[in-house]
Structure 1
Amino acid sequence: MNSPPEIPPAAEQPARSAPTDAELLTRHITGDPHAFSEIVKRHRDRMWAVALRTLGDPDEAADAVQDAFVSAYRKAESFRGEAAVTTWLHRIVVNACLDRMRRKSVRPLADDELIEAAERDTPLPDQTGEREVSLEVSAALKVLPADQRAALVLVDMMGYSVEDAAKVLNVPSGTVKSRCARGRAKLAPILAHLRNRSELTRVSSAKGAQLRDG
């Protein structure tokens, strides 16, 4: 008696990949009530980091991010796909920050507020020296004009390439380079002691290693 033919297992359904930012934005434009919320979840932390480092004030940063997302929600149809959605969002956030800086003077932060904001943004190891450096850099950035500060935040603090920062700021790459150069030149004498401190730490560590190896 012949055995019954083997029935092949049902083909496994491929896992559905998460929609891209551009797909979510398209869904939002066509009426999906949840699509934009997903975009906010994906990008709000980085938007917050950009706003906080640009403005140096957590309250102003929170308001700027809120303004930016409201603007993005309302102007989603203006996205043409010429750049990534993240670049488009960063541009809106940076513009919201620059608008606030131009409209009014941002109040200075107390030390405890800066520490709290820095910990909420990107927690650092519990090292007093790093916290002191963070506070001093944040305070020094406030002496720069808005355009130079925004360029330095994107390139030196957020790690954007000059080309990507140029897309966010909607200016030529040469302009970003120039703004960064002028900003660094202004900060150099203010933060020179930090460079000396870093050099001292490096030398001390090297000497310690020599003593251990010897």
Structure 2
Amino acid sequence: MTPSHSADTSDLELLRAHVDGDPEAFGVLFGRHRDRLWAVALRTMGNPEDAADGLQDGLIAAFRRAGSFRGDAAVTTWLHRVVVNACLDRLRAAKVRAADPLPDDLDERESRGSLRTATAASLDPAELSVADERRRTVLAALQTLPEEQRAALVLVDMEGYAMADVAQMLDCAVGTVKSRCSRGRARLAGLLTDRLAALDADPTGGTTSGPGDAGLGNRPAGRPVPSQDPPRGPPASP
């Protein structure tokens, strides 16, 4: 953080400084929210390459449109809205449907809502193997959802944002977010019930938690787990 931008400098002050021509303010602002913006882009897009492109599109849009920020939401909510919309635009244009491999970065990090329900230290190798496979199964199923449902579930169930905040990010009513989450969860349940049950009966003898613990719908809204390690791969700020 530069001397002119201390930890006490608010997000709004940084955004206004950027609009007024401060060449460093936007970079400081992005640095504050980099982890969560990257996590949302990664889960929405499904792989690091597309996530980097979506995040870059969003950051460029935010950089250029900062003057249009109306102040009717928190700056971080506005940033997420711009990045999510950029990712959804890419998904719609490319007609992406669960064809890309899951990023290893997601599996390695517990902190960004990674679906991990137990630490490696608490699991024997067989249990850890089953837990990893369960996580991959859930994430792969997530990529089959329609883009709007996927974005809502990523923001609410995996990132822990409140419904009202997600409604602002997605520019829709709270009821719409609830409906998208409900339909998405129902669709995931249909896809995952048999698959996760089969993993629970893994012949290695490892025991895992039930399908409801796979990472969707368990974290209280607005209470995400704080990041501990920076993610790998997101692009630099514009």
TM range, normalised to the smaller chain?
0.7 to 0.9
1:94 match? 84
Say whether the 8 Å CA contact 2:130–2:208 is kept in structure 1. Answer: no
2:145 match? 144
1:37 match? 27
2:47 match? 57
Q: Distance in 2 between matches of 1:29 and 1:36?
A: 9
2:124 match? none
1:179 match? 180
Show structure 1 runs of 4+ deviating over 6 A.
Answer: none
Unaligned runs of 5+ in 2: 1-5, 121-127, 202-206, 211-238
Normalised to the residue count of structure 1, the TM-score between the two structures is 0.78
Say whether the 8 Å CA contact 2:37–2:80 is kept in structure 1. Answer: yes
> Comparing both chains, which one has the higher relative contact order based on Cα–Cα distances under 8 Å and sequence gaps of 6 or more?
2
Unaligned runs of 5+ in 1: 1-15, 204-214
Q: Offset at 1:17? A: 5.1
Counting matched residue pairs gives 185
Q: Offset at 1:118? A: 3.3
Alpha-carbon displacement from aligned partner over 1:17-63 (angstroms, at most 9, x marks no partner) = 52010000011111111101101111111101001111111100011
1:108 match? 99
Say whether the 8 Å CA contact 1:115–1:135 is kept in structure 2. Answer: no
**1:1-214 residue pairs with structure 2 within 5 A?**
18-106=8-96, 108-110=99-101, 114-119=103-108, 122=112, 125-126=119-120, 127-193=128-194, 194=196, 197=200, 201=208
Q: 1:32 to 1:135 in 2, by over 3 A?
A: same
176-185 vs 189-198, greater mean Cα deviation: 189-198
Q: Offset at 1:80? A: 1.2
Alpha-carbon displacement from aligned partner over 1:82-101 (angstroms, at most 9, x marks no partner) = 10000000000110111011
Q: Offset at 1:195? A: 6.6
Q: Distance in 2 between matches of 1:96 and 1:185?
A: 26
The structure number with the bigger radius of gyration is: 1
Say whether the 8 Å CA contact 2:44–2:87 is kept in structure 1. Answer: yes
Q: Distance in 1 between matches of 2:100 and 2:28?
A: 32
Alpha-carbon displacement from aligned partner over 1:64-110 (angstroms, at most 9, x marks no partner) = 11111111010000111110000000000110111011001336233
Q: Offset at 1:130? A: 2.9
Q: Distance in 1 between matches of 2:189 and 2:53?
A: 31
Q: Distance in 1 between matches of 2:52 and 2:29?
A: 17
Q: Distance in 2 between matches of 1:115 and 1:166?
A: 30
Q: Offset at 1:117? A: 4.1
Q: Offset at 1:138? A: 1.3
* RMSD (CA atoms): 2.3
| More helix, by proportion | 1
User: Match of 1:140, as an amino acid?
Assistant: A
User: Match of 1:182, as an amino acid?
Assistant: R
Normalised to the residue count of structure 2, the TM-score between the two structures is 0.71
Q: Distance in 2 between matches of 1:49 and 1:17?
A: 23
